[in-house]
Chains A and B, each alone.
Chain A
Amino acid sequence: MRTKPLMLLTCLLLLLLGGTGVAYALWSEVLTVEGTVYTGEVYGKWTSCICTDEGLDPFPPTWPYPYPKPQQKDVGSTACSIDAKDPRILHLTISNGYPSYWGNCEVHFANTGSVPVVIAGYKVIAKNFTPASGNGTEDGEIWVKYWDGVGTQMEPCPDDSCEQASSLQFHVEQPAEENETYIFQVLVCLRQWNEDADLEQCLAAAPSY
């Protein structure tokens, strides 16, 4: 009768020792994957800008008025430059504008990031005036129109498709006031190539500057 608890204790001791023997005796190896992800960048910048007014004031290709074109004069002027600190901003300044003053600027931008992008769209924002609905419609102070390849995919530079040429036209309409400063912005939004997003989503996601 006294041998039963002794047997049980012996078995338990053996089991514990056996378990210890497995832990120390097993040969093993751990393989580790150490991961580092370097992300790319969606980034674009303006690369050039050329405006048609380099002397005599240009006329629109389609003359919107019932009277004949007058003899050209050098009255208004258009200047265009890429911001020295941030090449994502292009400055367009029209000086001494007057009703019927028109201009056309060819602007170029490039995908200087590392991820292909798609032109999601563009938006013209009139800051302090009513934009005219068309060239010569006279229902606003200034008409601003931007032409671009919305939906076009641009590979990162130096790929051939990394640059895009667009044009911006403006026309000072009859309701424009004298000695006034009218401010507008044209936003061109580039999105990563593989995620569908409309213009508003693209603009909402873009970093502000």
Chain B
Amino acid sequence: MTKRLPLAFLAILLIVLLAGLGVAYGLWSETLTISGTVNTGEVDVGFSGPWVAEWVEVNGTPQLEPKEKDGAAECSAKAIDSDLTSDGKETIEVTVTGAYPSYHCLVKFDISNLGTVPVHISKPKPGEGTPSWVEASACYPEWYQLHAKDSAWASILIHFTNKDGVNENDKYKFTFTIQALQWNEAPSASKDSVSTCFAPPEGIVPELQE
């Protein structure tokens, strides 16, 4: 008797397992499939340019730098690809040497939407320690909408007078940042604001006398 009990138990277990297999394999069923693919886009903005213009004010009148004084102050700017994970150039480096009161350097650049998603861009915001005599302006209002492949321009004017208390042989640093946020999660430009981005950038360089 003691030997027959495990044998009977084994037989019952086998029957239960086979019954289980029967349910799993015997059922008729069909699967319908939705095969989904989500391809995401990209938020990517970059600078193009920059373009530099220099002039001086002589007794309050703006004019081109006289040839013999041209080398006294120099202004250069270049765009750099500081984010290798995205397209375009994300930084502009501006260097001014030999600046003196009434010397002007204007750096104009474009902000371009290189991605696939529209963005809202801020105006250039001065960073900490940026002197008040370095000013930025833009053709667009705050949180202007930039569609894919569109561009807008902005500029930085470096110019100080004797009243600004700028030291000789000194070094001044400035930074400006522009934020670009995906269109649907950013503030929008005010409805009353006006963009001049579609017009030629007239007026940012005054009429210069030779």
Residues of chain A touching chain B, judged by Cβ–Cβ distance below 8 Å, are: 41-46, 57, 65, 67, 70-71, 73, 75-76, 83, 88-100, 107, 109, 113, 115, 117, 120, 142, 144, 146, 168, 170, 172, 176-192, 195, 197, 201-207
Contact = CB atoms under 8 A, between A and B. Distances in A.
Contact of B30 (A70, A113, A178, A201): A113
Contacts of A179: 40-42
B184 A46 contact: no
Nearest to A90: B34
Contacts of A94: 36-39
Interface string B19-57: 000011111111111111111111110000000000000
A115 B28 contact: yes
Nearest to A188: B32
Give the size category of B's interface with A. 20 to 34
B40 A46 contact: no
Contacts of A197: 23, 27, 29
Given A91-B35, A97-B39, A142-B38, 6 more contacts: A83-B35, A94-B36, A178-B41, A185-B36, A186-B33, A192-B27
B24 A92 contact: no
A163 to B, nearest CB: 12
Contact of B40 (A67, A109, A178, A203): A178
A168 B35 CA distance: 12
B76 interface: no
Contact of A46 (B26, B32, B41): B32
A205 B27 contact: yes
Contacts of B26: 195, 205
Nearest to A93: B37
Closest 5 CB pairs of A and B: A96-B41, A186-B34, A205-B27, A42-B28, A182-B38
B182 A99 contact: yes
Most buried by A among B24, B37, B116, B117: B37
B35 A182 contact: no
Contacts of A117: 30
Contact of B39 (A41, A96, A109, A205): A96
B63 interface: no
Contacts of B43: 98, 178
A100 B185 contact: yes
Given A73-B183, A75-B118, A115-B28, A93 B33 contact: no
23 contacts: A46-B32, A70-B183, A70-B184, A73-B183, A73-B184, A75-B118, A88-B30, A91-B35, A120-B29, A142-B38, A178-B44, A183-B36, A184-B38, A185-B36, A188-B31, A188-B34, A189-B29, A190-B29, A190-B30, A192-B28, A197-B23, A203-B31, A206-B30
B34 A92 contact: yes
